[in-house]
Structure 1
Amino acid sequence: MSDAGDFIDLALQRESSWSRAEESEGRYGSGQRYYGASVGAVRATVRDALRRHPGLTHDDITALSSELWEAPVFERRLAGVVLLQSSVRLLTNTDLTRIEGFVRSARLGALVDPLAVDVVGPLIAGLDVVGRVRADSVLDRWVRDPDGWLRRAALLSPLRAFRAGAGDWSRFVRHARLVLESPPQRADVDDDDGVAAGAVSLVLAETARHRPELEF
């Protein structure tokens, strides 16, 4: 592992708690391991790592996020999400391929939702016109994918923009209708269909509170 990766992993293990690990497993399931570090500890650890390793480039950040994601440990993967959140200004539309891999392997709202809302959305908002067109084509593909978690990520990605009074509402409506009207074509992803539809409900509930003028 890299020096930064070692620092984050060891720090998270020092913050471990058996009771929190058991609580997390009960909440999120047994499909991965848990150190039992708190969300606050994960955020603080990433912040400390960025202070210890200033000047990390785009390639450094993306490589470190993949390094953290490689082991199926919830806190390591959450640290990877926080790292991308903290460095989203460095990301480009080509990084959506890496993020897609994270979403496909996460299969957990506690990881997928912040990736979509706090990484994918701001990443796309910061692109130039050409980059945004390319990124939009990626999200168009995501929302048609049989993987419900990828569909969820596409639907949640504009949520921050909607909260701020911006965003392309008509595009979201098109995506939402596609998800609601087009069931998965593969039997092995039927169980994931609800997470995509749930994303539609979440966005509609948020916009009803903050943007009541928007109609579905």
Structure 2
Amino acid sequence: MSDAGDFIDLALQRESSWGRAEESEARHGSGHGYYGASVGAVRGTVRDALRRYPDLTHDDITALSSELWQVAVFERRLAAVVLLQSSVRLLTNTDLTRIEGFVRSAQLSALVDPLATDVVGPLMAGLDVVGRVRADSVLDRWGRDPDGWLRRAAEMARRRPELDSDRP
């Protein structure tokens, strides 16, 4: 694991609570493991990691998000979402492939919804015309996919106000 990945994972484990882990599993189901770290702790950990590792490039951010996502622990995956939210200005339309994989494996609205509204939506809004056309074709494909989570993500990403403001 990378230094940044180790830092985030260990911090999340230190912030854990058996009680919160049990509550999270009861709320979200048993498809993921749970450390029991609060959402605030996840956000704070990612913020601290970005301060500790300020020179992370696009490739570093996307690799770190995949590293965190690789283990099916809710807080790690939420940290990947927060990392992408925090670094959305670095993302490009080609990152939609990685995000698609995240959405397909998430199976939870608590992960899919922020990916769609706080990562894909702002990513789309920041693209140039060519990137936007390519990204729109990806979202069109998502919208027709048999995977309901992917269709949900496409619909939610397109509801972003920033996306509607540049359309007639």
Please confirm whether the aligned pair reaches a TM-score higher than 0.5, indicating the same fold.
yes
What is the aligned partner in structure 2 of residue 81 from structure 1? 81
* C-alpha contact 1:58 1:91 (8 A) present in aligned 2: yes
Q: What is the TM-score normalised by the length of structure 1? A: 0.76
What is the aligned partner in structure 2 of residue 117 from structure 1? 117
- Alignment partner of 1:166 is 2:165: yes
- Relative CO higher for 1 or 2, CA cutoff 8 Å, sep ≥ 6? 2
- Stretches of structure 1 that go unaligned for 5 or more consecutive residues are 170-216
Q: What is the TM-score normalised by the length of structure 2? A: 0.97
1:167–1:74 distance in 2 versus 1, CA, 3 Å = farther
- Stretches of structure 2 that go unaligned for 5 or more consecutive residues are none
Once residues 93 and 160 of structure 2 are traced to their aligned partners in structure 1, the CA distance between those partners, rounded to angstroms, is 18
What is the aligned partner in structure 2 of residue 64 from structure 1? 64
1:131–1:21 distance in 2 versus 1, CA, 3 Å = same
The residue type paired with residue 77 of structure 1 is: R
String of CA shifts for 1:144-175, please: whole Å, max 9, x gaps. 0000000000000033326x972659xxxxxx
Local SS of the residue matching 1:122: helix
What is the aligned partner in structure 2 of residue 43 from structure 1? 43
Deviation above 3 Å: which 4+ runs of structure 1?
none
* C-alpha contact 1:13 1:37 (8 A) present in aligned 2: yes
Once residues 121 and 59 of structure 1 are traced to their aligned partners in structure 2, the CA distance between those partners, rounded to angstroms, is 20
Once residues 131 and 94 of structure 1 are traced to their aligned partners in structure 2, the CA distance between those partners, rounded to angstroms, is 9
Count residues with an aligned counterpart. 168
Local SS of the residue matching 2:82: helix
Local SS of the residue matching 1:111: helix
Query: Pairwise CA RMSD of aligned residues?
Result: 1.4
Of all paired residues, the percent bearing the same amino acid is 82
Once residues 160 and 136 of structure 2 are traced to their aligned partners in structure 1, the CA distance between those partners, rounded to angstroms, is 16
Shift of 1:79: 0.1
String of CA shifts for 1:101-146, please: whole Å, max 9, x gaps. 0000001000000000000000010000000000000000000000
Local SS of the residue matching 1:157: helix
Q: Please tell me whether Structure 1 or Structure 2 has the larger radius of gyration of its CA atoms.
A: 1
